[in-house]
């Protein structure tokens, strides 16, 4: 099988490529990535010189570049996106361009090339926000209610993907997944930001009252879910993917991290809240368990600890990432 992976130089895309190359020795991969601030080929340096792996620097909104990269491809796994909610609040335009227009350009090319599967990697944020302390969870029937420019742009892309199934018969699948954590996550996101700030002796900014709840999933579990959907998922279907944790607040997450890193809670700094901040996410992943036999294998606490170890052992990776554009972003975001 020949796969085109978009956004393969980012956090989840890179983890997915490394996972797939390991588990599918007969397959080849084309990694198509624009290398925005979030794309980093360092994540894939172990694949340099591997004849089963090719990198193409390109923008998914560029139809002719996409068309060339799709030659001989049977399967597309579409990760490429602007992915950070806070950046979407400061500057929404690139989110609409990449996440909506870019997805539509890819879909058109996929129809033209008659690919066997177009898998779209999406998010639980399209469903909006749940009440704190409720037992409610998002599932495949939950009404879309995106509340940030990022979530709205991902919702738009999901609708386009489904429309290409209905209108053109393109064999698509969609996963809507909760918050991932693990190696190679860009330190603008909460967990790697907290870990790397603590290593640097800096405070950890916590938005608002810190009682917001996210559903956490170790990145390799997400990769396995996508693998199963590619192998046995039904065209036209959506699968919700989520973690094992009971509701845990952001403060709860930070307390675990500080404890695991031998620090006290004085590292926490409450800062101005994110506008439109979604209160709570929780995922009901019973459909993918029932139909495809998937369940998360990695529990939150031990894999959070292993993630901390990864950031401690890979200082050069994130110290490099935290220079240049990151410094400007950090000052603008946190003052
Ligand atoms: P990321 O920001 O780490 O990586 C995004 C990648 O896409 C980067 O390599 C970037 O260079 C590339 N890219 C951006 N714009 C592009 C363009 N126009 N053309 C080609 N490449 C482009 O993102 P991530 O956290 O790895 O998320 C990957 C996907 O998974 C996204 O679609 C995101 O919406 C979705 N998702 C993420 C999470 C999460 O917790 N991180 C959870 C659920 C779903
Ligand atoms: O739910 C899936 C989504 O998870 C993905 O679709 C997104 O691509 C991904 O970025 C992530 O979105 P979140 O907004 O939930 O993740 P983030 O790491 O930015 O924030 C997690 C929580 O922590 C959220 O409640 C906001 C809070 N937070 C975040 C940052 C960066 C803070 O309190 N302080 C911070 O500095």
Q: Which residues lie closer than 8 Å to 98 by C-beta, 6 or more apart?
A: 59, 60, 61, 80, 81, 82, 153
Query: Which pTM was predicted?
Result: 0.99
Can you give the residue range of the structural domain that contains 91?
Answer: 2-182+216-243+282-299
Long-range contacts of 23-28 (CB under 8 A, 24+ apart): 23/227, 26/1, 27/1, 27/2, 27/3, 27/52, 28/1, 28/2, 28/3, 28/52, 28/53, 28/54
Total number of domains in the chain: 1
User: Which of 81, 85, 147 to probe ligand 2 with, by most ligand atoms within 8 A of CB?
Assistant: 85
- Total Cβ atoms within 10 A of residue 141: 9
Give the alpha-carbon dihedral of 76, 125, 181, 135, to 10 degrees: -130
- Domain assignment present for 326: no
How far apart CA 4 and CA 67 sit, in angstroms, is 11
The residues of the chain scoring below 50 in pLDDT are: none
CATH number, domain at 96? 3.40.50.720
CB-side exposure of 153: number of CA atoms within 13 Å? Answer: 25
Compute φ and ψ for 286, nearest 5 degrees.
Answer: -70, -25
Give helix 190-199 / helix 250-260 axis angle, nearest 10°. Answer: 30
How far apart are the C-alpha atoms of 88 and 123, rounded to whole Å? 15
Residue 328 within a domain: no
Euclidean distance between CA atoms 191 and 49, whole angstroms: 32
Listed in sequence order, the residues at least 6 apart from 17 whose beta carbon sits closer than 8 Å to its beta carbon are: 5, 8, 29, 31, 44, 47, 53
Centre of ligand 1 from the C-alpha of residue 115, in Å: 22
Residue with token string 């509701």: 247
Residue owning the nearest CA to atom 5 of ligand 1: 10
- Is 169 a domain residue? yes
59 CA closest ligand 1 atom index: 19
| Residue 138, domain member (yes or no) | yes
Q: Is residue 74 part of a domain?
A: yes
Q: How do the residues of the chain divide into helix, strand and coil, expressed in percent and rounded to 5? A: 45, 20, 35
Rounded Cα gap, residues 139 and 141, in angstroms? 5
Tokens representing 36 are: 């925005």
Nearest partner of 283 among 169, 136, 173, judged by Cα:
136
Task: State residue 322's pLDDT score.
Answer: 96
Is residue 52 within 8 A of residue 46, CB to CB? The reply is no
Distances 219 to 16, 149, 180, 267 between C-alpha atoms, Å: 8, 24, 5, 26
Which atom of ligand 2 lies nearest, measured to the CA of 213?
25
Least distant ligand from the CA of 241: 1
Residue with tokens 């695991």: 260
Is residue 227 situated within a structural domain?
yes
Asked if residue 210 belongs to a domain, the reply is: no
Summarize pLDDT for 207-243 with one digit per residue, the tens. Answer: 999 999 999 999 999 999 999 999 999 999 999 999 9
pLDDT of 249-303, one tens digit each? Answer: 999 999 999 999 999 999 999 999 999 999 999 999 999 999 999 999 999 999 9
Has residue 109 been placed in a domain?
A: yes
Name the 3-class secondary structure at 258: helix
**pLDDT at position 213:** 98
pLDDT of res. 244: 81
Question: What pLDDT score was predicted for residue 44?
Answer: 98
Rounded to whole angstroms, how far apart are CA atoms 57 and 44? 14
What is the set of active-site residues?
124-125, 150
Note the ligand closest to the C-alpha atom of 225: 1
Q: Outline where 169-299 has alpha helix (H).
A: 190-199, 219-232, 250-260, 286-292
Centroid of ligand 1 to alpha carbon of 265 (angstroms): 31
């Amino acid at each position: 099988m020949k796969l085109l992976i978009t956004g393969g130089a980012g956090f989840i895309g890179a983890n997915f490529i490394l996972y797939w190359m390991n588990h599918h020795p007969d397959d080849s991969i084309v990694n198509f990535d624009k290398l925005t601030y979030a794309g980093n080929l360092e994540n894939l340096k172990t694949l340099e010189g591997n004849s089963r792996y090719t990198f193409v620097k390109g923008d998914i909104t560029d139809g002719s570049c996409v068309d060339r990269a799709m030659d001989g491809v049977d399967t597309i796994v579409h990760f490429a996106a602007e992915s950070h909610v806070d950046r979407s609040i400061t500057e929404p335009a690139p989110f609409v361009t990449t996440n909506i227009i870019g997805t539509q350009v890819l879909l058109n090319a996929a129809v033209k090339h008659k690919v066997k599967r177009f898998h779209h990697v999406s998010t639980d944020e399209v469903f909006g926000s749940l009440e704190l302390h409720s037992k409610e969870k998002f599932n495949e029937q939950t009404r879309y209610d995106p509340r940030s420019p990022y979530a709205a742009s991902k919702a738009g892309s999901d609708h386009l993907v489904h429309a290409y199934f209905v209108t053109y018969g393109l064999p698509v699948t969609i996963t809507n997944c909760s918050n991932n954590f693990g190696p190679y996550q860009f330190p603008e996101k909460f967990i790697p930001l907290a870990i790397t700030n603590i290593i640097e002796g800096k405070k950890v900014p916590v938005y608002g009252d810190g009682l917001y709840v996210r559903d956490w999933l170790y990145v390799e579990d997400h990769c396995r879910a996508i693998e199963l959907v590619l192998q046995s998922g039904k065209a036209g279907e959506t699968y919700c993917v989520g973690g094992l944790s009971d509701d845990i607040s952001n403060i709860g997450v930070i307390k675990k991290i500080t404890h695991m890193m031998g620090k006290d809670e004085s590292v926490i700094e409450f800062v101005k809240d994110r506008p439109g901040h979604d209160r709570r996410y929780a995922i009901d992943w019973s459909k993918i368990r029932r139909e495809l036999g998937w369940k998360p294998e990695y529990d939150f606490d031990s894999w959070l600890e292993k993630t901390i170890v990864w950031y401690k052992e890979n200082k050069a990776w994130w110290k490099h990432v935290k220079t240049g554009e990151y410094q400007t972003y950090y000052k603008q975001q946190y003052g």
